[in-house]
Structure 1
Amino acid sequence: MAQRGLRYRGVAPDLASLLFLRITAGLSAAAVSTTAFAAAAESAPDGKQGAYLSLVTAGLTVALFTGVPVGTWVAGTWGWRSTFLLIAAVAALVAMPRLPGSAPMALGARLAPLRRPPVLRMVAAIFLCGTGGLIFHTYLDPISVHALGSDAHLPVVLLVVGLVGVMAALLGGRLTDSYGPRRARLAILGGHALALAFVATMVVAGASLWVFLAGVAVWSVFAWALNPPMQASTIAAAPEAAMTAVSLNISGLYLGTAAAGAVGGLLLDRLGATAIPIVGAVALAGAWLIAAPSVRTRAEAGDDRQPAAL
């Protein structure tokens, strides 16, 4: 193991280099995610935008629940540095379709969609969704230990999250296409908050393995179905700047993810695992309130005479 470690130090000889490379990888992943969502939305035919966005979400979900166990196995077999090499090899094989470019814009122009209340509300709502939903997902280990007495069943819990998540992403797209972005996002946001509140009750009161798995499965349905209607709502609020609006929305999600890790750590240290799903449910309730108002916009309908509700 020591010899293998020496071979890798030529790439990342110290912690500062490793952090720099990790930040670069994170920036690249954010750019790819934004481009993938925007490409899916722009290529979708009328009435199928939710379905196209859900396919991208499903792909990200599959990558999440397959990448973690595969990366863990690779790290255990060949060392943790090998996991980074595997990620690099997979990334080198990824091919994106050629997309038309846009003229360079100043930072102020790129942030311009945030001056529109509907876009700002969607970004704020997705931030709270990232904080509230991913605080639970990030700290599933200590939450499972508190609810079940040990982390022996954590792999099964994570498997349930992943399997349900793929189907839920496709469901979110179907709901978006069938009922519109606003109805879909409010139904899913409300269900997400209620499901997490139910899980919080189980964590506080204690539950059997099967009841806990059922609660996590219900939570997963709403957690992973959320992205398509939220992205579709953001694009509808700024259809002429879809790529920029989506990038702002994804940025809000990533900020929420970062906040989830920080807030969850503080809650775990000071109040214990039971506080994490409770705070998550409160954040999601706040997201529902922010996303609830209806805005009349002609752009979504593509008709100057019949405005549509966003």
Structure 2
Amino acid sequence: MSLPLIALFIAAFAFGTTEFVIAGVLPQVAQGLGVSVPTSGYLVSGYACGIAIGGPLLALATKSLPRKTLLIGLAVAFTIGQAACALAPDFTSMLLLRIAVAVAHGAYFGVAMVVAVGLVPEEKRGMAVAVILSGLTVSNVIGVPAGTAIGNIWGWRATFWVMCALGVAATLAMAVLLPRTTGHQTRSASFASEVRALARQQVWTSLVLMLMLMLGQFCLFTYITPTLLEVTGLDENLVPWVLLLNGVGATLGVFLGGKLSDWKLMPSLITMLALQAVTLAVIYAVSPYPVPMVLAIIVWGGLNFSIGTPIQTRILAWTADASGLAASLIPSGFNIGIALAASLGAAMLNAGYGYRSLPVAGALAMLVAVIVAVASHIWERRADVRPPLPAAAK
């Protein structure tokens, strides 16, 4: 792995940790801010909305800035945001601060993905995307369980102070390891060209798959801690270990997805989407039983991120000639799905369906994804088209 990719990985790890760790400390945050657990779930959906809406707008507004300067600036914003969250006096201020950090998060991943695929040959795009995504998965292996454990021992505010320190480390890594000319191009595609690129069916269908994938993941993951406590009956001290195992599965899955993306992207993607629908049905069936539930959670984590890699690789490949807007919409697609999933989960819980019902909604979303992916693949094969050539780099 090249040093610039390592820098991008470290920053992705920082952003991923602060996004996902909230699930591990959700009950403590709810109690500390004086709200219910379902209400505190809006800290997840609010963060996702910040990524989805603010991220692309910030990425487009800063399009003319040097990529290294922009990426470092986003890491600094992350660091300040974590300190502010640690000091948040009430739920409203916490929500607004999380949204502000999320805007930087969305812009970061949009820029970082384009930079990453530009650092490697065309045949290794999938693995470059996997490296960035592995920052998210390793955050689940190390950051989320560690942050959850810290929250259990010293309180949830301590978790955010640790995130602040992580932001400092990410900023230094970006400053030292990224080359000065990172992401510069000889030409910049017009906004009209970037909008036209979004109209390619491979792009918009992939964005639909993102939405479905996030419904399959975050309708349950947002409330994974109370689900494991109340439905599965696990001891609170075991929850960080289950999250760690879920992250291990995700880390293995992201690199498997990278390999499959560089091999046979669409057949692999369709197969994994179908397997995820089955896995969520299994989670529903075994949720009252600790050992099979933990095993299912590991497989579920691996499939979530193995699916995410080919989806993103496909978008970047089919917008290689005009990648700015599409790349900024990658985190938007994922996080609109996260916001919908967290909100759907809250609505289901408030309606009295209970935590066990959450994976059922996810399984239905994955079945929709299978149908969309199969139709898109058939359409592409019949049209006999190829991805565009990438814009030349300096």
Q: Does 1:25 align with 2:101?
A: yes
Could you tell me which residue of structure 1 aligns to residue 279 of structure 2? 195
| Structure 1 unaligned regions, length at least 5 | 1-6, 303-310
Preserved contact between residue 147 and residue 202 of structure 1 (Cα < 8 Å): no
Q: What SS does structure 2 have at the residue aligned with 1:268?
A: helix
Q: 1:277 to 1:77 in 2, by over 3 A?
A: closer
The alpha-carbon deviation at position 130 of structure 1 amounts to 0.7
Shift of 1:256: 0.6
- Cα distance, 1:158–1:80 mapped onto 2, change above 3 Å: closer
Q: What is the Cα-based RMSD across aligned positions, in Å?
A: 3.0
Is 1:233 the counterpart of 2:309? The answer is no
Pair 82,141 (structure 1): closer, same or farther in 2 beyond 3 Å: closer
Which residue in the other structure is 1:307 paired with? Answer: none
Query: Pick from 261, 274, 282: which aligns with 1:176?
Result: 261
> Contact 2:85–2:94 at 8 Å: present in 1 too?
no
Q: Give yes or no for the alignment of 1:133 onto 2:217.
A: yes
> Are 1:54 and 2:130 an aligned pair?
yes
- On the 8 A contact 1:133/1:284 being kept in 2, the answer is no
Matched, 1:145 2:229: yes
Correspondence 1:71 to 2:147: yes
TM-aligned CA deviation for residue 82 of structure 1? 4.2
Amino-acid identity (%): 27
In 2, the alpha carbon distance for the partners of 1:145 and 1:10 equals 25
Where do residues 151-170 of structure 1 align in structure 2 (5 Å cutoff)? Answer: 151-152=235-236, 153-170=238-255
Deviation of the 1:146 alpha carbon? 4.8
Structure 2 CA distance for partners of 1:73 and 1:155, relative to 1, 3 Å: closer
Where does residue 205 of structure 2 map in the other structure?
A: 121
TM-aligned CA distance change 1:93 to 1:117, over 3 Å: same
Contact 1:236 1:299 in 2 (8 A): no
Is the contact made by 1:197 and 1:278 (CA closer than 8 Å) also made in structure 2?
Answer: yes
CA contact (8 A) 2:253 2:302 kept: yes
Is structure 2 residue 357 aligned with structure 1 residue 289?
no
- Deviation of residue 35 (structure 1)? 1.9
Output the TM-score relative to the length of structure 2. 0.66
Deviations 1:253-283 (A, max 9, x none): 0011111111111222321122110110001
Q: Shift in Å at residue 76 of structure 1?
A: 5.7
Tell me whether 188-197 or 60-69 shows the greater mean CA deviation.
60-69
1:245 CA displacement: 1.6
Q: In the alignment, residue 160 of structure 1 is paired with which amino acid?
A: L
Contact kept? 1:57, 1:228, Cα under 8 Å? yes
Equivalent residue in structure 1 for 2:344, among 253, 256, 263? 263
Asked whether the equivalents of residues 133 and 280 of structure 1 are also in contact (C-alpha less than 8 Å), the reply is yes
Distance in structure 2 (CA, Å) of the matches to 1:11 and 1:160: 31
Give the 3 Å change call, closer, same or farther, for CA 299–92 of structure 1 in structure 2: farther
Q: TM-score, normalised by structure 1?
A: 0.82
CA distance in 2, matches of 1:273, 1:167: 27
Between the two proteins, the alignment pairs up a number of residues equal to: 292
TM-fit CA distance, 1:84:
3.3
In 2, are the aligned partners of 1:8 and 1:81 still within 8 Å (CA)? no
Question: How many Å separate the matches in 2 of 1:231 and 1:121?
Answer: 12
Structure 2 vs 1, CA of residues 20 and 264 (structure 1 numbering), >3 Å: closer, same or farther? closer
Amino acid at match of 1:47: E
Contact 1:122 1:249 in 2 (8 A): no
Q: Distance in 2 between matches of 1:10 and 1:54?
A: 31
Q: For 1:31-76, what per-residue CA distance to the aligned partner results, in whole angstroms no more than 9, with x for missing partners?
A: 1122222222222213211111111111111123322233345456
Q: In 2, Cα distance between the equivalents of 1:184 and 1:26?
A: 31
Please give the per-residue CA displacement for 1:176-200, whole angstroms capped at 9, x wherever unaligned: 1122x21221122111111111111
Inter-CA distance 193–16: structure 2 relative to 1 (3 Å threshold) = closer
Residues of 1 paired with 2:215 and 2:339: CA distance?
Answer: 8
- Determine the C-alpha separation between the residues in 1 that align with 2:239 and 2:136: 21
| Structure 2 gaps, min length 5 | 1-82, 390-394
